[in-house]
Amino acid sequence: MRSHVLEIMEQQGIKYHLNPVLLEDLFNADEMFLTDSIKGIHWVSSYKMKRYDLGIAKDLSEMLNQEV
């Protein structure tokens, strides 16, 4: 699933980083989502008091569903 999502992101010109996540990253991110083979794309809405936008995750999920 992850490789398929990354492929879609590349096709759409969406920048991403594949790095270990640091605690600092959780607070600096604008948007966050996870991928797995069961749910596909799962948007992370918040972490502690930090709220994340829903934009790219929704778009990617729609693109992924169109291909399935």
Q: Say what the pLDDT of residue 68 is.
A: 67
pLDDT tens for residues 33-53? 999 888 889 999 999 999 999
Q: Say what the pLDDT of residue 9 is.
A: 92
Domain holding 13, by residue range, is 2-67
DSSP SS3 for 31 = coil
pLDDT tens for residues 1-33? 888 899 999 999 998 888 898 999 999 999 999
All residues at 6 or more sequence positions from 60 whose CB lies less than 8 Å from its CB, including other chains: 5, 8, 9, 14, 33, 41
Could you give the CA distance from residue 36 to residue 1 in angstroms, rounded to a whole number? 6
**pLDDT band at residue 67 under the 50/70/90 scheme:** confident
All residues at 6 or more sequence positions from 51 whose CB lies less than 8 Å from its CB, including other chains: 45
Tell whether pTM > 0.85. no
Instruction: Return phi, psi of residue 34, to 5°.
Output: -115, 155
What CATH number does the domain containing 58 carry? 3.20.10.10
Report how many domains make up the chain. Answer: 1
